[in-house]
Amino acid sequence: MTASEVLISEVGPRDGLQNCKSIMPTATKNRWIDALSKAGLREIEVGSFVSPKLLPQMADTAQVVEHAVKIRGLEVAVLVPNLKGAELAIKSGAHKITLPLSVSETHSIRNIRRTHDQVIEEARRISDLISTLPEDKRPHFEGSLSTAFGCTLEGPIDERVILKCAERLMDAGCSEVGISDTTGYGDPTSVRHLIRAVRGAIGAANVTGVHLHNTRGLGLANALAAYEEGITTFDSSLGGLGGCPTAPGASGNIVTEDLVFMFESMGVNTGVSLEGLFEARALLAEGLPEEELYGFTPNAGLPLGFAGAPVPEPA
């Protein structure tokens, strides 16, 4: 059974910017995030708490989080590679923390310098830290199965390894597990299969979100397949910015503008204004003039008479 409403989680300020050569000034990031929220995006991954030596684009994440948490109704998400990152995220007030576990251990070591066992230990320590906080101050803790559909360093990953990683993340205290096509290897059939397999291992309620890339042009097709499997949260990036610096050739998130247009055209409510996204895109282009932006919808414009999905009645 498919949902009549989905959550679009904007990851441009993190996954998008981390792959850019230019460094966006903090004030410009904040203006961009303001515009994204104004467009109706209810969850934005605003940065990652990683070493600024490795990713100088993320050096101001604490300041950005402190700004974003003041925006009413916005779920502020961040990525953390370890306990130290989680401590910084909690201190800054982030509402959601994502810890990536690359099912390709080679990629895990290259990406965050940790084996599977070490990542699971970090997950336990983060979970223990969160449990010491007052209930109303505890961030949502997601474990992400990165490189889930294949790795540019290892190739296909044994499904038994993937399912074991999912089980271990939940056992370590994660609130849920997301499935990530870090390298753009997925196709609609494999997306359907892996969602069913992971849900079979840890329960459907614990698998609600996917992070898909458009590296080979299958991003929207894969998102539709995930939606038809009951997934309700979809990561995307304004202008299609992004990729993974430690996975060669892993370029291109799904374009937020195109993803929103697809769902709204289908009558599925996103709560996001396409006109608002176009305004945010203009700010992005101004802030990163040397970066190429992607997307069919912003270039073609909206069809004559396009109204989008009906807004649900208040409960």
Please identify every residue annotated as catalytic.
244
Pairing of strands 75-79, 176-181: unpaired
Residues 6+ apart with CB under 8 A from 38: 276, 279, 280
Mind giving me the DSSP string for 108-142? HHHHHS--HHHHHHHHHHHHHHHHTS-GGGPPEEE
Residue 172 makes CB contacts below 8 A (sequence gap 6+) with 120, 123, 124, 127, 143
Nearest CA to 167 out of 177, 159, 178 is that of: 177
Q: Are 27 and 14 in contact (CB under 8 A)?
A: no
First to last CA, the chain: 20
Contacts (Cβ under 8 Å, ≥6 apart) of 137 = none
Separation in Å, CA 16 to CA 48, 191, 201, 235 = 11, 22, 31, 11
Q: How far is it, in rounded angstroms, from Cα 315 to Cα 309? A: 17
266 phi and psi, to 5 degrees?
-80, -5
Token pair belonging to 234: 């979809």
What is the spatial distance between Cα 17 and Cα 290, in angstroms, rounded to a whole number?
12
Q: Please choose, from the candidates 240, 241, 186, 238, the residue with its C-alpha nearest in 3D space to the C-alpha of residue 210.
A: 186
